Amino acid sequence: NCGFGLIASTKGQDSHELLKTAIQSLTCMTHRGGIAADGKTGDGCGLLLAKPDSFFRYEAERLFGATLPSVYAVGMIFLSQNPKLAQEARDLIEQQLVAEGLHTIGWREVPVDSNVCGPLALESMPKIEQIFVGGVDIEGKEMDRRLYFARRHVEKGMMHDPDFYIVSLQTEVIGYKGLIMPEDLPNFYLDLQSNRMTTSICVFHQRFSTNTLPRWRLAQPFRYMAHNGEINTISGNINWSVARAPLFASDFLPGLENITPIVDTRGSDSACMDNMLELLLNGGMDMFRALRMMVPPAWQNVEHLDADLRAFYEYNSMHMEPWD
């Protein structure tokens, strides 16, 4: 099955060496992923890294002559190769950002070398761009919530375009992924070769596609996590997410009913799980509770379990069934 890992600086120090080590580690897991008959198209691999601030500030100054604010976001966007559909997506993204009190600083075409792609990957390869987003007097978590709403509205408005996909659109992370082999990732995404591309934490994933066919959008990591799939309860999880939609409420997410359904069923089981996790986190739930509510251990028959922890699992089991 899939392979994934995490490398982080315990001191929170950014470095290009950490990124290079993550890519090397990903390459060592090539055997954990699938590969097409053309010998070059992988089932998907990628990186989710803490936003390389110095790199993006340099690019914003170089491309737009802009000094980025203290809080900003960079989104990684897969667009259609059809110019009309691509422009429709750009326009809708900018409109929804304005609706959320945000603004577009500029668009950047991500430099790639498609020569490293296999024939099958090239057939479905999207146009890859980044959008730089700013706001006025907005702190990071609030901006992420506004970006979440904007993204969901855009996704609903672009359902007719199968190539459109927002890889990441957050203030703290950026994703680089695709249907390429791990060893080719830094040769495809030329950004990853830059010494300015520094980070303090990087999640990496090599996919072995099982119950869904390989697609650029289904490569991992997703926006919040990397996961090896094989979620046996996925049909029930999706159905319950739809049934419970009217009950979801948070002071942090007013108007939540306007962006349902929460789970995009065009995704893999892991992608659906990521959809639910991001809802819980943007709604104000802390990471530990969200993950332990979605993926609890088999606590019922553990004899020596702290009473408070048992009560925690029992309470949360009343609100959501395990994604198991």
**Residues classed as catalytic:** 2
From residue 227, alpha-carbon distances to 5, 204, 208, 230, 232 in Å are 10, 10, 11, 9, 14
Q: Are 49 and 186 in contact (CB under 8 A)?
A: no
Q: At what angle do helices 269-282 and 287-294 cross, to 10 degrees?
A: 140
Other Cβ atoms less than 10 A from the Cβ of 194: the count is 17
DSSP β-bridge partners for residue 106? 132
User: What is the C-alpha to C-alpha distance for residues 120 and 37, in angstroms, rounded to an integer?
Assistant: 9
The answer to whether the beta carbons of residues 75 and 223 sit under 8 Å apart is no
**Under a CB-based contact definition with an 8 Å cutoff, are residues 136 and 100 in contact?**
no
> CA 252 to CA 318: how far, in whole Å?
22
Q: With beta carbons less than 8 A apart as the criterion, state whether 41 and 216 touch.
A: no
- 180 — alpha (psi -120 to 50), left (phi > 0) or beta? beta
Q: Which residue has the tokens 């296999």?
A: 118
